[in-house]
């Protein structure tokens, strides 16, 4: 399967998920409207209808605004950070977290677990408000898939790292100076995330054969179905830089390799 086909498939999956969520919202609005029509006889009933409408909207949109924001796999301080990116307070009661094949829940949110807009909450191994159900190390250093699911068992957000992310990230493009356009500072390498998962790039390495290497800093990540650029020496929002004062490619450079945090090969890009 070529790159273009995989990219189109990823985009279709992403769009289908978004359309499905909106369809649910529209259907619930229709149902709420029909249910409350006979009662719209006075201001009190009208107020109740509006409250019911917004309650349904917030419940349906909750999975679109809550996400796994970061995962620490360090055995000394394993934790998962959950962030509310939307405008509503979300009730997390009975939401739960699974790892890899979901044989058992690592953690289930108890009653009265709320997350406010822009708030980040942590589930940790050590003493804290939210703690994992197991005192032993949970995360494989080789890689894993971590899911956040709502009370109905629907996947809200997914985070992958290490070898679990190998099939999701590829080197999609190389730009290097030539005789027609000399601007080595803007030479760059592009990566694309073909999946609908968040990918942890912490410690991943880009290695240019017979050239430089770049290591992604801690807490580096890629959004689902997104692209990221790594420049030779150029600052741009959302991008990274080798911070090299000289060109990152030379006449002998023919291959760029992407390695995970365990220095295992993820992908290679060959060019003339």
**Band of the pLDDT at 179, cuts 50, 70, 90?**
very low
Q: What integer pLDDT is reported at residue 24 of this predicted model?
A: 62
Name beta bridge partners: 207.
213, 257
Compute the half-sphere exposure of residue 224: CA atoms within 13 Å on the CB side of its CA.
20
Of 51-55, 209-213, 223-227, 244-248, the one with minimum mean pLDDT is 51-55
Between 113 and 28, where is the model more confident?
113
Residue 44, SS3 per DSSP? helix
Q: Rounded to an integer, what distance in angstroms lies between the CA atom of residue 105 and that of residue 107? A: 5
Closest CA to 136 of 99, 190, 176: 99
Q: Is the Cβ–Cβ distance between 115 and 84 less than 8 Å?
A: yes
Q: What integer pLDDT is reported at residue 56 of this predicted model?
A: 67
Going from the C-alpha of 217 to that of each of 104, 202, 256, 268, the distances in angstroms are 31, 6, 19, 21
Name beta bridge partners: 79.
72, 124
Residue 272, pLDDT > 90, answer no
How many CB atoms neighbour CB 223 within 10 A?
14
Q: What integer pLDDT is reported at residue 1 of this predicted model?
A: 52
> Mean of the pLDDT values across residues 41-53?
58
């Amino acid at each position: 399967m070529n790159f273009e086909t995989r990219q189109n498939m990823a985009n279709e999956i992403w769009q289908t998920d978004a359309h499905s969520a909106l369809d649910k919202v529209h259907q619930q609005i229709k149902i709420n409207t029909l249910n409350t029509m006979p009662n719209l006889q006075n201001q009190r009933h009208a107020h109740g209808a509006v409250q019911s409408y917004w309650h349904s909207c917030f419940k349906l949109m909750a999975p679109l605004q809550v996400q796994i924001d970061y995962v620490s796999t360090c055995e000394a301080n394993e934790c998962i950070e959950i962030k509310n990116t939307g405008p509503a307070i979300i009730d997390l009661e009975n939401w739960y977290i699974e790892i890899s094949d979901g044989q058992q829940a690592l953690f289930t949110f108890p009653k009265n677990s709320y997350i406010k807009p822009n708030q980040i909450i942590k589930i940790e191994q050590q003493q804290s408000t939210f703690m994992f159900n197991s005192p032993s190390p949970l995360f494989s250093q080789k890689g894993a898939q971590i899911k956040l699911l709502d009370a109905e068992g629907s996947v809200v957000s997914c985070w992958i790292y290490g070898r679990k992310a190998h099939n999701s990230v590829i080197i999609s493009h190389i730009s290097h100076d030539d005789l027609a356009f000399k601007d080595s500072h803007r030479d760059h390498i592009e990566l694309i995330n073909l999946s609908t998962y968040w990918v942890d790039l912490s410690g991943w390495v880009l290695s240019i054969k017979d050239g430089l290497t770049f290591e992604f800093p801690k807490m580096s990540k890629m959004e689902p179905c997104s692209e990221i650029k790594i420049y030779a020496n150029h600052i741009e929002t959302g991008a990274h830089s080798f911070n090299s004062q000289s060109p990152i490619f030379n006449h002998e450079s023919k291959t760029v390799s992407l390695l995970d945090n365990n220095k295992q090969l993820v992908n290679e890009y060959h060019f003339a």
